[in-house]
Amino acid sequence: MDFRKLPRLGISKTTLALIIVIIIIIAGIAGYIATRPPAAPPTTSSPTTLTPSPTTTSPTPVVKKRIVIGVTDKVTDLDPAQAYDFFTWEVLNNIMGGLVQYKPGTTEIVPHLAKSWEVKENGKVWIFHLRKDLKFADGTPCTAQNVVWSIKRVMRIKGDPSWLVTDFVEDVVAIDNYTVKFILKKPVSYFLALLATPPYFPVSPKYKPDEVDSDQTAGGVGPYKIVKWVRDEVLVLRANPYYFGPKPKVEEIVIKFYKDATTLRMAIETGEIDIAWRTLRPIDIESLKKNPNLNIIEVPGAYIRYIIINVKMLPTNNKLVRQAIAAAIDRKEICEKVFMNTTVPLYSLVPIGMWSHEDVFKKYGDGNIELAKKLLKEAGYSETNKLKLELWYTPTHYGDTEKDLAALIKEQLERTGMIEVTIKSAEWSTYLDYTRKGALMLSLYGWYPDYIDPDDYLTPFLRTDSNAWTGSGYSNPEVDKLLDEAAVLTDQSERAKLYKKVQEIMADEVPIIPLFQGKLYIVTKKGIKGVVLDPTMLFRYYLLYWETGS
Partner 1 sequence: MPFKRPTFIVSSLIKTLFKGKYPGKTFLLIGLALILPIILMAIFAPFISPYDPTKSVGDPLRPPNSLHPFGTDNLGRDILSRVIWGSRVVLAVVLLSTALSAAVGVPLGLLSGYIGGKVDRVLAMIMDSMYAFPGLILAIALASVLGPSIINAAVAIAVVYIPIYFRMTRGPTLQIKEQAYVESAYAAGASSFRIMFKHILPNVVPTLSVVLTLNMADAILTEAGLSFLGFVVVPPTPDWGFDLRAGQPFLPAGYWWPITFPGFFILLLSLGFGLIGEGLNDMLAGKEI
Partner 2 sequence: MPGLGRFIVARVLLAIPTILILLTIVFIVMRLIPGNPILAMVGMKAPPEYVEELMHKAGLDKPLYIQYIDYLSGIFRGDLGRSLIWGRRPVIAEIMDHFPATLELTIFAFIIAVILGTTTGVFGSSLRVIKGWRKFDSLMRIYGIISWTLFIPWIGMLLQLIFGVWLRVLPVAGRIDPGLEPPRITGLYVIDSIITQRWDSLVSALRHLVLPSITLGLVISGAFTRIVRNNMIEIFKQDFMMTYKAVGVSTWKFISAAFRNAFIPIMTIMGLQFAYLLAGAVLTETTFSWPGMGTFLVERITYADYTTVQGTVVFFAIIVVTINLIVDIVYAFIDPRIRY
* CB nearer partner 2, residue 159 or residue 345: 159
- Binding flag, residue 400, partner 2 (CB under 8 A): no
CA distance 393 to 403: 7
Alpha-helical runs (H) found in 36-180: 86-95, 144-157, 163-166
Q: How far is the CB of 399 from partner 2 (least distance, A)?
A: 13
Q: How far is the CB of 148 from partner 2 (least distance, A)?
A: 22
What does each C-alpha distance from 98 to 131, 178, 212, 289, 483 come to in angstroms? Answer: 12, 14, 19, 36, 27
Contacts 24+ apart (CB under 8 A), 530-535: 530/249, 531/297, 532/104, 532/105, 533/297, 533/299, 534/102, 534/104, 534/105, 534/106, 534/107, 534/299, 534/353, 535/107, 535/300, 535/301, 535/302, 535/351, 535/353, 535/354, 535/452
CA distance 387 to 372: 12
One DSSP character per residue, 281-347 reads -HHHHHHHTT-TTEEEEEEEEEEEEEEEE-SSSTTTTSHHHHHHHHHH--HHHHHHHTTTTSEEE--
CA distance 418 to 381: 7
Q: Which of 125, 127, 267, 283 binds partner 1 (CB under 8 A)?
A: 283
- Binding flag, residue 252, partner 1 (CB under 8 A): no
- Tell me which stretch binds partner 2 (CB under 8 A): 55-63, 122-130, 253-261, 286-294: 253-261
- Binding flag, residue 425, partner 1 (CB under 8 A): yes
Binder of residue 425, out of partner 1, partner 2, none (CB less than 5 to 8 A by kind): partner 1
For residue 175, give the 3-state DSSP assignment: strand
CA distance 522 to 91: 16
Q: In this structure, what are the phi and psi dihedrals at residue 289, rounded to the nearest 5 degrees?
A: -60, -25
Question: Which parts of 116-175 interact with partner 1 (CB under 8 A)?
Answer: none
Query: What size, in residues, is the chain?
Result: 550
Nearest to 462 by CA among 521, 503, 407: 503
* CB nearer partner 2, residue 78 or residue 387: 78
- Binding flag, residue 396, partner 1 (CB under 8 A): yes
Question: Which parts of 480-509 interact with partner 1 (CB under 8 A)?
Answer: none
Q: How far is the CB of 96 from partner 2 (least distance, A)?
A: 17
Q: How far is the CB of 266 from partner 1 (least distance, A)?
A: 7
- Binding flag, residue 427, partner 1 (CB under 8 A): yes
Q: Which of 424, 497, 500, 529 binds partner 1 (CB under 8 A)?
A: 424
Q: How far is the CB of 466 from partner 2 (least distance, A)?
A: 8
- Tell me which stretch binds partner 2 (CB under 8 A): 73-81, 281-289, 475-483, 489-497: 73-81
- Binding flag, residue 304, partner 1 (CB under 8 A): no
- Binding flag, residue 286, partner 1 (CB under 8 A): yes
CA distance 500 to 502: 5
CA distance 406 to 393: 7
CA distance 353 to 492: 15
Cβ-in-10-Å burial (0-12, 13-18, 19+) of 337 comes to middle
- Binding flag, residue 403, partner 1 (CB under 8 A): yes
Cβ-in-10-Å burial (0-12, 13-18, 19+) of 193 comes to buried
Binder of residue 469, out of partner 2, partner 1, none (CB less than 5 to 8 A by kind): partner 2
Neighbouring-strand partners of residue 299: 520
- Binding flag, residue 404, partner 1 (CB under 8 A): yes
Could you say which DSSP state residue 83 is in?
-
Q: How far is the CB of 452 from partner 2 (least distance, A)?
A: 15
Q: Which of 44, 287, 317, 430 binds partner 2 (CB under 8 A)?
A: 430
- Binding flag, residue 423, partner 1 (CB under 8 A): yes
Neighbouring-strand partners of residue 410: none
- Binding flag, residue 57, partner 2 (CB under 8 A): no
Q: Which of 218, 338, 442, 483 binds partner 1 (CB under 8 A)?
A: 338
* CB nearer partner 2, residue 79 or residue 366: 79
Binder of residue 212, out of partner 2, partner 1, none (CB less than 5 to 8 A by kind): partner 2
Question: Which parts of 120-159 interact with partner 2 (CB under 8 A)?
Answer: 158
Q: Which of 315, 353, 395, 473 binds partner 1 (CB under 8 A)?
A: 395
- Tell me which stretch binds partner 1 (CB under 8 A): 50-58, 89-97, 312-320, 399-407: 399-407
Binder of residue 299, out of partner 2, partner 1, none (CB less than 5 to 8 A by kind): none
Nearest to 165 by CA among 144, 194, 186: 194
- Tell me which stretch binds partner 2 (CB under 8 A): 25-33, 106-114, 474-482, 521-529: 25-33
- Binding flag, residue 374, partner 1 (CB under 8 A): no
Question: Which parts of 517-546 interact with partner 2 (CB under 8 A)?
Answer: none
Q: How far is the CB of 339 from partner 1 (least distance, A)?
A: 11
Binder of residue 406, out of partner 1, partner 2, none (CB less than 5 to 8 A by kind): partner 1
* CB nearer partner 2, residue 267 or residue 531: 267
Q: Report the Cα–Cα distance between both ends of the chain, in Å, rounded.
A: 73
- Tell me which stretch binds partner 2 (CB under 8 A): 231-239, 381-389, 406-414, 520-528: 231-239
Q: How far is the CB of 433 from partner 1 (least distance, A)?
A: 12
Work out the angle at residue 410's Cα, subtended by the Cα atoms of residues 334 and 404, and round it to the nearest 5 degrees.
50
For residue 118, give the 3-state DSSP assignment: strand
Helix (H) or strand (E) holding 387: strand 387-393
Cis status of the peptide bond prior to 187, with omega within 30 of 0: no
Q: How far is the CB of 73 from partner 1 (least distance, A)?
A: 17
Question: Using CB under 8 A as the criterion, which residues of the chain lie in contact with partner 1 when the complex forms?
Answer: 261-262, 265-266, 281, 283-284, 286-287, 337-338, 395-396, 400, 403-404, 406-408, 410-411, 423-427, 430
